[in-house]
Amino acid sequence: MRGINLAGAEFGSLGQDYGTGYVYPSEKTIAYFKDKGFTGVRLPFLWERLQPKLYDKFDTAELRRLRATVKAIRSAGMQVVLDPHNYARYGDQIIGSEAVPQSAFADFWRRLATVFSGQDEVLFGLMNEPYGISAEDWLSAANGAISAIRQSGADNLILVPGTAWTGAHSWSGGDYGMPNASVMTGVADPGNNYAFEVHQYLDVDFSGKNEECTRAVDAVKAVHDMGDWLAAQGRRGFLGEFAVSTMPICQQALTDMVAAVESRPDVWLGWSYWAAGDWWKPSEPLNIQPTESGDRPQMQTLQALFAERKTCGG
């Protein structure tokens, strides 16, 4: 997959109306990225909007919007990664707390899996960037959700992140005690159809919040190292987020990141760039939503890569 994160449905505060506080991607935006050669969309949304009360049914209007957007993306011939963009939280309470038991997370995924069961081109991204939770506790929550998905009858591919914002650079580190590299080998999927999702930014603190790309060499190495770990485990991976700014010096880094994934089709399923969407401001440096004057520099870099791969038969 050559994917794009189409942000917007995770925007705003809870209680804000649709079209005022948040928005799903338009068919125009979906068509733009399809025409540019992208083959997938990672679709962020909020758990709380879809399920306003834990263990309760989904909000009818929000589910309709989500289903319609997935249909539009699929109609364009693209895969979809469903992405509850919640950082292992519901509201401000972490999964596994008294307020948000792990069973509530499993219930959410049982309901969502039932809606999209059997749609092979719809991938289930368990959760965006868990943090503030130990790898052991996150593994327990993830396995509960995976079990619920399979019990629903859904055999869709599941993307499983680690904790510590699921950074490739921190996969083997001990930021939260035991590292993901040790703990996440315990993923239990009765359907044996899952991959690990990691994110990797290239700025000074790997956060993606800075315009520079001074840690590009380290970031690319982290993706290579993650590929080696996947190969050693006999598993697959997906680079769910990465990005660079418009700075000319960062365009080579973007090329190197894509190459780090696409040179290892034995372990990597693909990547999705962060980000685009109808409401992104043109001043946002990582954004590749087109402007009135045309494609942004990062898109021009990616287009050159797509053309090169096509010429080479890739």
Active site residues: 129, 241
Compute CA 51 distance to the chain's CA centroid, rounded to the nearest angstrom.
Answer: 20
In 76-172, alpha helices (H): 102-116, 135-151
120 and 152 in contact (C-beta within 8 Å)? no
Nearest to 158 by CA among 171, 174, 147: 147
Beta strands 122-125 and 79-84 are parallel
Instruction: Tell me how long the chain is.
Output: 314
Structure token pair of residue 82: 């469903």
247 CB burial (10 A radius; 0-12, 13-18, 19+): middle
Which letter does DSSP use for residue 132 in this model?
Answer: S
Identify the bridge partners of residue 249 per DSSP, sorted by sequence position: none
Alpha helices in 234-276 (DSSP H): 248-262
CA distance 227 to 237: 8
The neighbour count for residue 92, using CB atoms within 10 Å, is 9
